[in-house]
């Protein structure tokens, strides 16, 4: 990635200890405006923890996060509110409110992130976001009646409805069948083309990474040990990414 | 073995005080959001409906049968000792129901019906990341999920308690006047005789404090749930056990404080 691209998220020296274990250990990472950055890594290695730091769900023990070159202080309510307006997040299990319908789930996000909008405008935005995830006309369905793939799509619609500048995806294809994985990947690509936002995707699904990534990073031992373009991951001689991509049990990546 | 035990006990004591400190912080945070919930009371009304209106039928049913059985057992026992003493049962019923049984019974039913479901719901929201999702929409989860429920507990438990006392008294009155043929006017005269105004304040204080505390405990347990479905189950058990224990402890403490004060 060249120097002509604007830095959207800059993480510097981020450290976090959870349950006595160092999950992030002085992690540095820069994500550029408009790119889809896919973060790979083994299960339980700290990928989701990193995402949750970007949106202020975790407080760092050490280190700094800059968004649009502004220091993000999750303990400052103003800074937190600003970042949460800029970021949407798709959670691993969808995290949909099961007492609300599909439409109400999406409207809920707008009610709190964009209280300035009129009811009609909110309705219009809900329709647009449902159209984007190919769920038009499903707003009255209860959450309990949705399949896993539909839940992910509703969660995606909810994450993008307030038109965030950054969308964070936590394992968007986990637990889905291969056809649904491709559908979700295509949706991510199509939404990316239409909205031109910055996407940060956390996954251990190489198939998805190859399909959607502009750039790929690999996290291990609390640090980023590889970054490169999507085609780079196949031909890279970096021992970490080589081991990960080829699924070799022995090597520098240990369980 | 002997070196493990002191560490274990120290660990448990540390854990207790750590938990207590977190609970106090959580409670203060919940009360900090009261003004906001008064200005935007939608969630408060929803919680009132869940805690108050939906619990009313079971409160009325248990209250009525409690009054009847109290009337029956007390009259039967009194009559067995000295014939004709069932005419004094009105006094025992009015004091017992107003000061003790009404608030405690209502609170225990609220714990079993409401606190368990509040902990299970919030616990499920925690483990399925719904609480995290709320935060990403710039919603303070304590303001949205905890404060309205605690406020509803403080307001609705005294009202439920008053209804329970009334219906229990009605049940007792029916049993004593019909079953033991005590004169109606004598029953009412006896019922009013020992009553003092502070009994009412004591009853309201107990219900309001217990209502607030048990809802704080159940929301706290739900909020701090860890570890999937098993974690939700464990949190619900802890919530019901701790809340039930607190009902009895607070009833004793507030009752003693009123007796000392008057």
Give the domains, in start order, of chain A with CATH numbers: 7-91+168-246 (3.40.50.300)
Q: What is the pLDDT of residue B219?
A: 97
Within its chain, how far is the Cα of A3 from the centroid? Answer: 23
Contacts of residue B221, defined as CB under 8 A and 6 or more positions apart, other chains included, come to: B119, B122, B123, B235, B236, B238, B239, B242
Q: Give the tens place of pLDDT for each residue, A117-158.
A: 999 999 999 999 999 888 999 999 999 999 988 999 999 999
Strands across the sheet with A62-67, in order? A21-32, A7-18, A62-67, A70-71
Q: What is the pLDDT of residue A3?
A: 54
Radius of gyration of chain A (CA): 18
The reply to whether B245 falls in a domain is: yes
Could you tell me if B167 and B67 are in contact, meaning their C-beta atoms sit under 8 angstroms apart?
Answer: yes
The reply to whether B13 falls in a domain is: no
Chain A hits for B128, CB-CB cut-off 8 Å, are 93, 95
Chain A hits for B139, CB-CB cut-off 8 Å, are 112
Closest Cα in chain A to B122 = A97
Closest Cα in chain A to B126 = A95
The reply to whether B3 falls in a domain is: no
Residue to substitute from A109, A158, A168, interface B, most B β-carbons within 10 A: A109
Q: What is the pLDDT of residue B132?
A: 95
Q: Does A207 touch chain B (CB under 8 A)?
A: no
8 Å CB contact of B128 and A95: yes
Nearest to B138 among A85, A91, A96 (CB): A85
Helices B228-261 and B102-110 pack at an angle, to 10 degrees, of: 170
8 Å CB contact of B133 and A89: yes
**Alpha-carbon gap, residue B39 to B206, rounded angstroms:** 27
Question: Range of B65's domain?
Answer: 33-261
How many beta-carbon contacts under 8 Å exist across A and B?
39
Nearest to A106 by CA among A126, A77, A122: A126
pLDDT-derived band at A1, boundaries 50, 70, 90: low
Q: Does A91 touch chain B (CB under 8 A)?
A: yes
Assigned token pair, B64: 């009525």
Q: What is the pLDDT of residue A255?
A: 67
Q: Does A175 touch chain B (CB under 8 A)?
A: no
Nearest to A45 by CA among A246, A232, A244: A244
**Alpha-carbon gap, residue A65 to B87, rounded angstroms:** 77
Residue to substitute from A80, A89, A159, A160, interface B, most B β-carbons within 10 A: A89
The reply to whether B14 falls in a domain is: no
Nearest to B130 among A89, A95, A112 (CB): A95
Chain B hits for A95, CB-CB cut-off 8 Å, are 128-130, 132-133
How do strand A166-170 and strand A198-202 relate by DSSP bridges? parallel
8 Å CB contact of B132 and A97: no
Residue ranges of A 18-57 with Cβ closer than 8 A to chain B: 52, 55-57
Closest Cα in chain B to A55 = B136
- Split into its structural domains, chain B has a count of 1
Q: Does A95 touch chain B (CB under 8 A)?
A: yes
Residue whose token pair is 């607070």 = B250
Q: Give the tens place of pLDDT for each residue, A168-197.
A: 999 998 888 888 889 889 989 988 888 879
DSSP letter at B24 equals: H
DSSP letter at B97 equals: I
Task: Kindly write down the DSSP assignment for every residue of B131-200, as one continuous string.
Answer: HHHHHHTT--HIIIIIHHHHHHHHHHHHHHHHHHHHHHHHHHHHIIIIIS---HHHHHHHHHTT--HHHH
8 Å CB contact of B137 and A108: yes
Contacts of residue B192, defined as CB under 8 A and 6 or more positions apart, other chains included, come to: B94
8 Å CB contact of B128 and A97: no
The reply to whether B181 falls in a domain is: yes
Residue A97 pLDDT > 70: yes
Which uninterrupted H or E stretch holds B256?
helix B228-261
Tell me how close the Cα of B43 comes to any Cα of chain A, in angstroms. Answer: 14
Q: What is the pLDDT of residue B86?
A: 86
The reply to whether B147 falls in a domain is: yes
The reply to whether B117 falls in a domain is: yes
Assigned token pair, B185: 């006017």
Q: Does A109 touch chain B (CB under 8 A)?
A: yes
pLDDT tens, per residue, chain B with 262 residues = 455 677 888 999 999 999 999 999 999 999 999 999 998 899 999 999 999 999 999 999 999 999 999 999 999 999 999 988 888 999 999 999 999 999 999 999 999 999 999 999 999 999 999 999 999 999 999 999 999 999 999 999 999 999 999 999 999 999 999 988 899 999 999 999 999 999 999 999 999 999 999 999 999 999 999 988 999 999 999 999 999 999 999 999 999 999 999 8
Q: What is the pLDDT of residue B84?
A: 85
The reply to whether B67 falls in a domain is: yes
Tell me how close the Cα of A113 comes to any Cα of chain B, in angstroms. Answer: 6
Contacts of residue B122, defined as CB under 8 A and 6 or more positions apart, other chains included, come to: B131, B145, B218, B219, B221, B222, B223, B225
Tell me how close the Cα of A103 comes to any Cα of chain B, in angstroms. Answer: 16
Tell me how close the Cα of A57 comes to any Cα of chain B, in angstroms. Answer: 7
Nearest to A91 among B132, B137, B138 (CB): B132
Residue to substitute from B133, B141, B145, interface A, most A β-carbons within 10 A: B133
Q: What is the pLDDT of residue B102?
A: 95
Tell me how close the Cα of B226 comes to any Cα of chain A, in angstroms. Answer: 12
Q: How far is CA B209 from CA A187, A194, B51, B205, in A?
A: 52, 55, 15, 6
ipTM for this prediction: 0.89
């Amino acid at each position: 990635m060249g120097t002509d691209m604007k830095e959207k998220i800059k993480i510097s020296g981020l450290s976090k200890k959870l349950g006595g274990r160092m999950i992030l250990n002085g992690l540095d990472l820069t994500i550029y405006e408009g790119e889809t950055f896919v973060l790979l890594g083994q299960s339980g290695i700290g990928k989701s923890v990193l995402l949750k730091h970007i949106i202020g769900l975790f407080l760092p023990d050490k280190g700094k996060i800059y968004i649009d070159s502004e220091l993000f202080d999750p303990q400052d309510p103003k800074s937190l509110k600003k970042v949460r307006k800029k970021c949407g997040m798709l959670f691993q299990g969808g995290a949909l409110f099961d007492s609300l319908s599909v439409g109400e789930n999406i409207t809920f996000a707008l009610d709190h992130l964009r209280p300035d909008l009129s009811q009609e405008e909110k309705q219009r935005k809900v329709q647009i976001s449902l159209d984007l995830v190919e769920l038009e006309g499903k707003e009255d369905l209860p959450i309990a009646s949705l399949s896993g793939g539909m839940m992910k799509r509703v969660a995606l619609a909810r994450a993008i409805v307030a038109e965030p500048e950054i969308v964070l995806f936590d394992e968007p294809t986990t637990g889905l069948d291969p056809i649904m994985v491709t559908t979700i990947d295509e949706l991510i690509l199509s939404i990316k083309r239409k909205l031109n936002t910055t996407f940060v995707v956390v996954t251990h699904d190489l198939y998805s990474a190859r399909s959607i990534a502009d750039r790929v990073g690999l996290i291990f031992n609390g640090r980023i040990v590889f970054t490169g373009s999507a085609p780079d991951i196949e031909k890279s001689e970096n021992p970490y990414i080589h081991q990960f991509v080829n699924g070799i049990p022995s090597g520098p990546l240990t369980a | 073995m002997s070196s493990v035990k002191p560490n274990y006990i120290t660990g448990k004591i540390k854990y207790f005080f750590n938990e207590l400190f977190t609970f106090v912080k959580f409670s203060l945070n919940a009360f900090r959001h009261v003004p906001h919930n008064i200005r935007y009371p939608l969630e408060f009304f929803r919680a009132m409906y869940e805690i108050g209106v939906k619990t009313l039928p079971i409160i009325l049913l248990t209250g009525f049968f409690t009054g009847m059985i109290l009337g029956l057992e007390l009259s039967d026992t009194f009559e067995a000792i000295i014939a004709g003493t069932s005419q004094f049962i009105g006094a025992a019923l009015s004091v017992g129901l107003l000061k003790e049984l009404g608030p405690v019974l209502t609170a225990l039913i609220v714990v079993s019906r409401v606190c368990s479901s509040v902990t299970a719901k919030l616990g499920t929201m925690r483990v399925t990341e719904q609480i995290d999702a709320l935060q990403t929409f710039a919603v303070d989860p304590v303001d949205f999920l905890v404060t309205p429920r605690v406020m509803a507990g403080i307001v609705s438990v005294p009202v439920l308690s008053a209804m329970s006392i009334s219906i229990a008294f009605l049940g007792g009155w029916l049993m004593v006047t019909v079953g033991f043929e005590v004169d109606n006017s004598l029953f009412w005269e006896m019922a009013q005789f020992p009553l003092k105004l502070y009994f009412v304040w004591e009853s309201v204080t107990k219900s309001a404090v217990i209502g607030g505390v048990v809802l704080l405990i159940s929301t706290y347990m739900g909020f701090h749930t860890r570890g999937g479905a098993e974690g939700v189950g464990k949190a619900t058990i802890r919530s019901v056990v701790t809340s039930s224990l607190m009902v009895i402890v607070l009833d004793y403490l507030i009752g003693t404080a009123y007796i000392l004060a008057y």
